[in-house]
Amino acid sequence: MARKGLVPPLGKEGKLKPLLLQGAELKAEQEKAKTLKKVPMTSRETSDLIMLGIGAFTPLDGFMTYDDWKGVCDKYLMADGQFWPIPITLSADKALADSIGANEEVALVDPSNKDEIMGTMKVTEKYTIDKEHECKCVFWTNDVEGHPGVANVMAQKEINLAGPVKVLSESFYPTQFGEIYQRPAEARKMFEDKGWQRVAALQLRNPMHRSHEFLAKIAVEVSDGLYIHQLVGKLKPGDIPADVRVKAIDVLVENYFVKDTVIQGGYPAEMRYAGPREALLHATFRQNYGCSHLIVGRDHAGVGDYYGPFDAQKIFDEIPEDALQLRPLKIDWTFHCFKCGGMASLKTCPHGKEDRLLLSGTMVRKTLSEGGELPAEFSRPEVVKVLQAYYGGLEEKVEIKLHGAATGDVKK
């Protein structure tokens, strides 16, 4: 029997669990927070707290305990048996951690934004972790020099703090990104208002080139609508900022998609570049947003050559069958084939590498950052114009290195 309505949020209750306070409750907690011991957060921890606040990390109620951390690393399972693919943790230096008593409430602050109090937490547990074990499980590598996600974990403070949180702020996201910034409840309402039930999400941290467009249109063909859901949190140097991506995607959707088949949205998480594990995280919170499917193409959420081009697809076959109701849309390596006369994939094109133009966001960034021209088959002219204006205005250039997934020098 076909499901009616959107997929339910993750968890036994099947309801969103936003932890962001409002009204009188928010004001009272803000006043109390001023009297509490302050715990500074990294940008990743801050963005995770906001994801908890808006309900994107339903059914989590705070930062993970040791048993949660260990279970998620080793088996994708929290202590209560709930599926979760990546640890959501908070760290503090030893001196600060030692000063916090059992079940003491603390204020969580963002040092990058004038120590804004972002939330409060009741500290129920303090523990140490094997950082290398987390990196090996989550990132499949311990390369602290080359992998930005590994570097972030290894730079964490000595002690992890666990406990339920109350979230007091969404930082600059609502004002800076306006309607693009969406909470899960808002996205669900938009889908319901359009009568959508089968919704495919396209994860983005780059502007859309022709390969992204091809994937997106495949998804539109087999669903009620497409949710172009891009990250507006912190990226690594050389990645294109969110406001530029929004402009580039706007001109693409306006000129090349059927009206009312696409919604563009943004979420406040920070990239971990965890490849397959991050694909599972993207699927997990997309289910909370109301999406029934996630497009998983080549090298999803990857960096460098740490993952095979389709490892992020294979990992969905390794988790428990009932872990997620959202399903991956697994799409093969796509490219422009000159003999076929258009976009194709390894499943549909019989021709050789010499006939193909491989497309990647890394190649787009490298070419345009160096003042080069992109072939018409690579990106729509309206998109290129937006990106050229951005790169032309940069005072400081960042060197962008190509890797196997960008050049095609990898085996399937």
CA distance 125 to 135: 22
Q: Which of 227, 350, 362, 248 is nearest to 291 (CA)?
A: 227
- Other Cβ atoms less than 10 A from the Cβ of 54: the count is 26
Long-range CB contacts for residues 171-177, cutoff 8 Å, separation at least 24: 171/46, 171/50, 171/110, 171/113, 171/116, 171/118, 171/268, 172/113, 173/50, 173/232, 173/266, 173/268, 176/243, 177/232, 177/242, 177/243, 177/246, 177/266
Secondary structure of residue 125 in the 3-state scheme: strand
Secondary structure of residue 335 in the 3-state scheme: strand
* Active site members: 205-206
Question: For residues 39 and 108, is the Cβ–Cβ distance under 8 A?
Answer: yes
